[in-house]
């Protein structure tokens, strides 16, 4: 075997070994919990694509958003706002598949308060402390802010508001009475409804979506990832993601343009 052929084969082996797909995850919970939830999915996708799928847990929602539009990661699991904003910012970002929870590709947000709180309606948050999660989160910021506005409560009318991280933190602080209110997904609110009061539910919101940066992810990788997600029936993988997860459905860019009314140019 010639020296050049040997070098070529060695380089080919290196490229094959290092071939990988990076899937970013927004920090909707703490890192340990998210790794436990998404590692089975990464292993499943690695088997289906024959390429190593690496998880990147974001430091913030914006971290994953920036990583996707800049091409530092190939795919990202994001909420509807981050997905919508990324598609507007970079035309190479496309939705691949959206999560199904109990067979539905949407969810609702619940505005909650403490069990012993005297608050019974959203308009009573005037002069109270309301905590949001992340500035790029639909569930913990844009949707509850929109709901408060509809009831005549603006940010200026709150005695205080702050961004405190993810919905688990919001739930914990509501239960302890550290904050007057916040918002979490309906499934989480119902799980802890004996410890909180659910004041109001939002309208239907598009579920979490896996998006791809088509400039960084090859068409082949995107197709393999999409096919793998759409045919995912492994209950162990789905239950690891969440007890209410039942699969994925194909997502279309046109569905996200309808979010403009809610998010506007923010």
**Run means of pLDDT, 10 residues per run, the chain, 266 residues:** 48 47 93 95 96 95 96 95 92 96 93 97 97 92 94 96 94 97 95 96 93 92 96 96 94 82 51
User: In this predicted structure, what is the pLDDT of residue 103?
Assistant: 93
Neighbours of 99 (CB within 10 A): 25
Q: What angle do CA 244, 163, 30 make, to 5 degrees?
A: 45
Structural contact between residues 131 and 170, judged by C-beta atoms closer than 8 angstroms: yes
> Where in the sequence of the chain do the CATH 3.40.190.10 domains occur?
19-102+207-263, 109-203
Q: Outline where DSSP puts E strands in 74-159.
A: 75-78, 93-101, 106-107, 109-114, 129-132
Write down the residue that tokens 């920036």 correspond to: 66
User: In this predicted structure, what is the pLDDT of residue 2?
Assistant: 53
Q: Outline where DSSP puts E strands in the chain.
A: 20-25, 52-57, 75-78, 93-101, 106-107, 109-114, 129-132, 160-163, 182-185, 196-201, 205-206, 209-213, 245-250
pTM: 0.80
For 19-102+207-263, CATH gives: 3.40.190.10
For 109-203, CATH gives: 3.40.190.10
User: In this predicted structure, what is the pLDDT of residue 260?
Assistant: 63
């Amino acid at each position: 075997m010639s020296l050049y052929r040997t070098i070529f084969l060695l380089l080919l082996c290196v490229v094959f070994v290092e071939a990988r797909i990076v899937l970013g995850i927004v920090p909707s919970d703490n890192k340990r919990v998210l790794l436990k939830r998404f590692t089975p999915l990464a292993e499943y996708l690695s088997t289906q694509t024959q390429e190593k799928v690496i998880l990147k847990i974001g430091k913030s929602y914006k971290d994953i958003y920036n990583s996707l539009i800049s091409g530092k990661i190939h795919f990202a699991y994001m909420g509807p706002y981050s997905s919508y904003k990324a598609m507007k910012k970079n035309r190479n970002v496309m939705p691949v598949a959206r999560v199904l929870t109990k067979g539905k590709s949407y969810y609702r947000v619940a505005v909650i308060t403490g069990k012993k709180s005297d608050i019974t309606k959203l308009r009573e948050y005037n002069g109270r402390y309301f905590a949001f999660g992340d500035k790029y989160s639909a569930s913990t910021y844009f949707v509850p802010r929109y709901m408060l506005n509809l009831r005549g409560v603006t940010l200026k009318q709150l005695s205080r508001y702050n961004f405190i991280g993810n919905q688990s933190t919001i739930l914990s602080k509501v239960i302890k009475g550290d904050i007057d209110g916040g918002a979490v997904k309906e499934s989480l609110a119902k799980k802890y409804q004996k410890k909180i009061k659910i004041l109001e539910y939002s309208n239907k919101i598009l579920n979490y979506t896996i998006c791809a940066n088509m400039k960084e992810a090859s068409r082949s990788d995107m197709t393999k990832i999409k096919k793998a997600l759409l045919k995912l029936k492994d209950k162990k993988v789905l239950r690891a993601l969440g007890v209410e997860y039942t699969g994925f459905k194909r997502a279309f860019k046109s569905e996200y343009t309808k979010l403009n009314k809610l998010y506007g140019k923010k």
